[in-house]
Amino acid sequence: MAVPVSQAWTVATYVLKQKLKGRKKYPLVLMLEPLFRCNLACAGCGKIQYPAHILKAELSPEDCFNAVEECGTPMVAIPGGEPLLHPQMPEIVAGLVARKKYVYMCTNALLLKEKLHLFKPSKYLSFSVHVDGQREHHDFSVCREGGYDIAMEGVRAAVAAGFRVTTNTTLFDGADPNSVRAHFDELMTVGVESMMVSPGYTYDKAPDQKHFLGRARSKKLFRSILSNRKKTWRFNASPIFMEFLMGKKDLTCTPWGMPTFSIFGWQKPCYLLQDGYADSFKELVETVQWSNYGTESGNPQCANCMVHSGYEASGVNYTFGSIKGLLQTAKAIFFNKYEDEGAMKLLNEWKPAHSGPLVQIASPTSAAEKTSELQGVSGD
Ligand code: SF4
């Protein structure tokens, strides 16, 4: 099982309750961004380009708890920035666990090993470690040589200490499906509970605009990666979302499914776009013109988007939307190995793209200096 039974049960009963209430726009996972500063400077990131005074700002534990109570989701993901740089992160996580929220703390794991003692293992807490592929690919993606080895050391330490550890992998153009499959093998070998994989999104603020995937290329890539699955692989994404990535299902985006709360408030309309902010979750749901978003809307910002934060909730909604959805999901979980000769051929014939030299956007030293400088100003 990719998640504990208690978590699957909590999510299933939550979704069914929303459906029984006739609530059309319900949130599934709160994306809680308590800060934007980070100790990496990845080429594909749209968060760390804020000016210094924004990077120094952070949500208080009370801000976080209020947002969680307000939107009422059973799961909370904590991206950023790097959450482990927030001085009150242990208090925030403990408060969410006390509220019986299933927490996925998204981290690049550079600080995981040294900060592990500040957290307590719980079925409600999972470290979701960002690893974009095998060593060379990950280091290239995060623009830091040695980043992979540090992250995996953090993963091993957290697994050994009894924590739930999952991974999230973002794929960009040039990803080699054979290498991604080998990466999955490596992650399962070190004992991660389950893996999440998603195409990246073209952030207009990201320094690297060349390496984002279009929809057709995404489907081809994911078909070759996720077909002919190995028995050992476990994923923590909706099976229907994964079929969507493989081009086997059509889904429309559910931008309200993973609402984002940060120092600016509730982000309109989704985790990726910033068309203003609302003061409350209710205001977000009621004031956004939702028909302006999603691939079908014709909005160019949504044209190529297939990301997890937009479509995971769509997959879950599909599952619980009908008996057919439930049966298809059960089949996907228990029986379907997605055998596909065409996908095997794609794998065998795939020519790895030359990724070019590693670009060290921020050296480890300068990133660390920037971080400690920001921490110093914010009184950490
Ligand atoms: S399609 Fe992507 S960018 Fe557009 S609203 Fe959905 S999640 Fe956001």
For ligand 1, pick from 302, 309, 317 the residue to mutate: most ligand atoms within 8 Å of CB: 302
Q: Atom of ligand 1 at shortest distance to CA of 253? A: 6
On whether residue 46 sits in a domain, the answer given is no
On whether residue 15 sits in a domain, the answer given is no
On whether residue 16 sits in a domain, the answer given is no
On whether residue 154 sits in a domain, the answer given is yes
C-beta 305 within 6 A of ligand 1 = yes
CA 283 to ligand 1 centroid distance, Å? 19
- pTM for the whole thing? 0.88
Burial class (CB in 10 A: 0-12, 13-18, 19+), 78: buried
C-beta 203 within 6 A of ligand 1 = no
CATH number (domain holding residue 278): 3.80.30.10
Radius of gyration of the chain (CA): 20
CA 259 to ligand 1 centroid distance, Å? 11
CA 46 to ligand 1 centroid distance, Å? 15
- Domain membership of residue 154 as a residue range: 27-36+51-374
C-beta 294 within 6 A of ligand 1 = yes
295/347 Cα distance (integer angstroms): 28
On whether residue 92 sits in a domain, the answer given is yes
Q: What is the DSSP string of 38-88?
A: -S---TT-SSTTS-HHHHH-B--HHHHHHHHHHH--SEEEE-SS-GGGSTT
8 A C-beta contact, residue 278 and residue 207 = no
8 A C-beta contact, residue 265 and residue 277 = yes
Give the model's pLDDT for residue 350. 87
The pLDDT tens digits along the chain (380 residues) read 678 899 999 999 999 999 999 999 999 999 999 999 988 877 767 777 788 899 999 999 999 999 999 999 999 999 978 999 999 999 999 999 999 999 999 999 999 999 999 999 999 999 999 999 999 988 888 888 899 999 999 999 999 999 999 999 999 878 899 999 999 999 999 999 999 999 988 655 555 555 556 788 899 999 999 999 999 999 999 999 999 999 999 999 999 999 999 999 999 999 999 999 999 999 999 999 999 999 889 998 998 899 999 999 999 999 998 999 999 999 998 888 899 999 999 999 987 665 554 444 344 444 444 444 444 433 33
47/184 Cα distance (integer angstroms): 27
On whether residue 230 sits in a domain, the answer given is yes
C-beta 343 within 6 A of ligand 1 = no
On whether residue 366 sits in a domain, the answer given is yes
On whether residue 21 sits in a domain, the answer given is no
Q: Atom of ligand 1 at shortest distance to CA of 306? A: 2
What does the block give as tokens for 321? 């939307």
Q: Atom of ligand 1 at shortest distance to CA of 299? A: 4
Domain total of the chain: 1
